[in-house]
Amino acid sequence: MEPAIQQWSGANEAVGGWVRAVSAWAVAAGASPPRAEVGGAPGVACLDSSRRGVGQGRWTFVTARPLAIVKGRVGDVQIIDGSSGRVLDRGSDPFALLQRALDEHRGLTSEALREVPFQGGALGVFGYGCRLAVESLQADPPARWGEPDVWWGLYDTFLAWDGLAGRGVLVSWGLRRWGGAPDPGLARRRVRALAEHLDRGATSMDGRGLEVGLTPGWERERYASAFQRIQEGIAAGELYQGCLTYPMRAERAPEVTALALFDGLRRWSPAPYGALLATDGPVSLVSSSPERFMRVRGGQVTVRPMKGTRPRGRDRAEDRALRRELERSVKDRAENIMIVDLMRNDLGRVCRLGSVQVPRIFTVESYQTVHQMTSTVQAELKEGGHGLEAARACFPPGSMTGAPKVQAMKLLAELEGAPRGYYAGALGWVGWGGDLELSVVIRTALVSAREIAWHVGGGIVADSEPGAEWDESLAKCPEPLRRAVTGRGQGSPSARGEGVGSG
């Protein structure tokens, strides 16, 4: 069985417009109407690589109207029919249940789509609460807006845009329901209808004029107290590193929709792992993440933990100096190698013996507002292994916990005092056969009907300084987000045309 496939060469990089068009297609096909805080229909999903780079930043996927949804809290996760709302299956482990759902259509692959990594399957997010499926930890209280631990839409019709080639392809398998047989006639009709909506065109916004006004949810004194407790734990041998995080919040103005934020972030803070995920629940996600959690292709696993940060400079000379400082920092290298070792250990549980390698270490990458140190760990799944087994073994991302992971998570839960929600989890796609691409949920806005939240944080080690860590955490939110949604940024080198903030 082959899917219906139609080449499409629409307006180059008008991704926000594509999201609007796909949302309109879904509504015309019977999906729920657009929600005010989203700017589109529930179930609309876009994974967007707006920052091109070697091995990343090539594909953008846009879809809507999930055939089914996998959602719930650890211990009670359900597969729910996208049309009727009927519960199709349930389980306690979100990773295992999503794998079971995808196995229904494991054989749906097409040689005609061999260059397209995602050929249908699931787009969604594992929230930080999914760690309870991996380790024995105290359960979280309900999240701030009542959002579930996990949300995945199961999709068979989508737009795949190749950013390197500058062309796209529309794909549909023609599934009437999840678990049903493909219908070639239905697949062709869906592709035609999707093409018609896309061809009508819809322009992207640039985010100018929107005001957010995020403010820290913690006082500096509270951060300093939690910082001190982590360093006391390090001195006592409880842990080596802890990633302390806290939220920033703002009341949501009517014009600040998830889609408007997505358009703004894409324009002003391009990232290899941008995303818009309009769930059918109380919160939608808008992400501009620089960090890959995991990629799995044909049994080959790659993770890229990111630890070590410096702000961008005010001019070229300062920017180069800050980058060199990060490259040479013994402290940041120590933080980074701790997480590399943690990820190597996690992968060793599900990967072939002797296959875990570290081909690149302490690489510094430059983004719109920060320089980041990253390393690459690779391994091979055991024979018959599934990408979600690797994701589960490594969850949550070690860069968002610290080491040892379990002890760090226990202490962080005590100090942070509230659930992280989707933040610090993993967002992306999982294909029918188990290939996947997941980012770490950082640099991400959580958009509810009345509020916007954006979490920040950073790793703390023995020689960290509280003032520097507080300033570093703030650099991960206010300036990029303010620039993204107001179009200001006059104080940044890139805004002055000097080019050092092009990442």
Q: Which residues are catalytic?
A: 291, 307
Q: What is the DSSP letter of 113?
A: G
- Is residue 441 within 8 Å of 285, Cβ to Cβ? yes
> In angstroms, rounded to a whole number, what is the distance separating the alpha carbons of residues 501 and 442?
19
| DSSP-derived 3-state class of residue 182 | strand
**Helices of type H across 159-257:** 184-200, 220-235
Q: CA-CA distances (angstroms) from residue 282 to 39, 279, 485?
A: 14, 8, 22
> In angstroms, rounded to a whole number, what is the distance separating the alpha carbons of residues 253 and 264?
15
- Is residue 60 within 8 Å of 118, Cβ to Cβ? no
> In angstroms, rounded to a whole number, what is the distance separating the alpha carbons of residues 460 and 424?
16
- Indicate if the alpha-carbon torsion angle 35, 37, 40, 41 is positive or negative: negative
Tokens of 392: 């589960």
The kind and range of the H/E element at 174 are none
Instruction: Identify the CA nearest to 449 among candidates 208, 257, 248, 212.
Output: 257
- Indicate if the alpha-carbon torsion angle 178, 179, 184, 185 is positive or negative: negative
| DSSP-derived 3-state class of residue 438 | strand
- Is residue 98 within 8 Å of 71, Cβ to Cβ? no
Q: Could you give the angle at which helices 258-268 and 478-486 cross, rounded to 10 degrees?
A: 100
| DSSP-derived 3-state class of residue 407 | helix
Tokens of 447: 């958009």
Entry field: residues in the chain: 503
- Is residue 189 within 8 Å of 468, Cβ to Cβ? no
How far does CA 27 lie from the centroid of its chain? 25
Strands annotated E in 44-183? 45-48, 59-63, 68-73, 76-81, 87-91, 121-126, 150-155, 157-162, 167-172
> In angstroms, rounded to a whole number, what is the distance separating the alpha carbons of residues 279 and 448?
11
**Helices of type H across 383-500:** 387-394, 405-416, 466-475, 478-486
How many CA atoms within 13 Å lie on the side-chain side of 417?
A: 8
Instruction: Identify the CA nearest to 289 among candidates 403, 368, 375, 218.
Output: 368
The kind and range of the H/E element at 94 are helix 94-103
